[in-house]
Amino acid sequence: MPLDDRELEQISKMLERGGKMLADHCVACKSPLFKFEGKTTCPVCTYRKMQNAIETSESPAEVSTQAVQSTQSVSTSQRMSLDDVITELISNLATEMRTETDLARIHTQLECIDRGLRIIQLIRGIDSLASDARHG
């Protein structure tokens, strides 16, 4: 699938933020991978995941319900991975907000950050409950 202007903009922003473009390419979208804050990431796939989350999420309650349902059947290592992905998305949004001037877009980004934080809390809460159940 060819990249649209917003996706190309994500690559530019990653370079502006100091990301190092790697010789490797993403297996999903064929875009260049970047090393940023010690992690290898694909800015295009990260952007697409965030856009998909925005488009499919109608309310924080809906996102929370979906997160609980999906994490109840996932192993601890997968939950940790999900935690990392959401943390990265939140970090990318926060970085983007530094230069954003469109108030509506800032509002949407803040809502996404809030949803991401709620999902992380749910994931960690489920991990805590599972740990308590095993030990208690």
Residue 46 · residue 92 · CB < 8 Å: yes
Predicted pLDDT at 51: 77
Report the distance separating Cα 119 and Cα 26, nearest Å.
26
pLDDT tens over the chain, length 136 residues: 677 888 888 888 888 888 899 898 888 888 888 888 888 888 888 888 877 766 665 444 444 344 334 434 444 444 446 777 788 888 888 888 888 888 888 888 888 888 888 888 877 776 666 666 666 6
Q: Write phi, then psi, for 14 (nearest 5 degrees).
A: -65, -40
Predicted pLDDT at 79: 43
Dihedral sign (CA 41, 45, 49, 50): positive
The token duo for 81 is 């991975």
The token duo for 26 is 């993403």
Q: Which of 86, 9, 5, 2 is nearest to 50 (CA)?
A: 86
Task: Give the max Cα distance, the chain.
Answer: 53
Predicted pLDDT at 55: 66
Q: Write phi, then psi, for 102 (nearest 5 degrees).
A: -80, 115
Predicted pLDDT at 133: 66
Predicted pLDDT at 60: 43
Predicted pLDDT at 132: 66
